[in-house]
Amino acid sequence: MQDGSNINLPGAEADEADADINAVYHFFNELGIMEQLVTTQLSHVLPASLNKSQFGVLNHMVRLGRLESPAQLASAFQVKRPSMTNTLQKLEAKGFVEIQPNEADGRGKVVKITQQGIAARAEALQALAPLFEKIRDDLGTELFEQARPLLERVRIYLDENR
């Protein structure tokens, strides 16, 4: 049956291979759908001062707690440098990051999150809390605790094999 939800491979061993590939396809298809749903929810609850990309950069910087170059951030987010430069310029204009010369390499730049940026990220997390609380209340915590190691393993694999 070909309803668009499965991948069909040619060949004698296609049925078994199809099942294996379809399992991978469906996993990533579900992640893609969830990403779209979460993006829509984020756009409704994030403070007006931040969009999803800007929140992502602030969250990344707080989570890792280190200075990174615009090129490193573009690589981490899998976007082209001009796109990251645009996001960083908007964050800098709001006082959420500072773009400074790289002292180790006089030519490059590094991005530093400011106290205002840390506060903006905290405000965004506060705005997201009711959404996360509702999901937790409706689905329970155990589901997320079980899924996290699996998702981390897939993320690490994809990151190492880009």
Q: State pLDDT tens for residues 32-86.
A: 999 999 999 988 999 988 999 999 999 999 999 999 999 999 999 999 999 999 9
Domain boundaries, the chain: 1-45, 50-160
Q: Domain 50-160 class? A: mainly alpha
Integer angstrom CA distances of residue 56 from 25, 45, 74, 87: 26, 14, 12, 10
* pTM across the whole model: 0.79
Q: For residue 121, what are the contacts with CB-CB under 8 A and spacing of at least 6?
A: 55, 58, 59, 62, 113
Say if residue 9's pLDDT is above 60: no
Say if residue 11's pLDDT is above 60: no
Which secondary structure element, helix H or strand E, spans residue 111, and what is its range?
A: strand 109-113
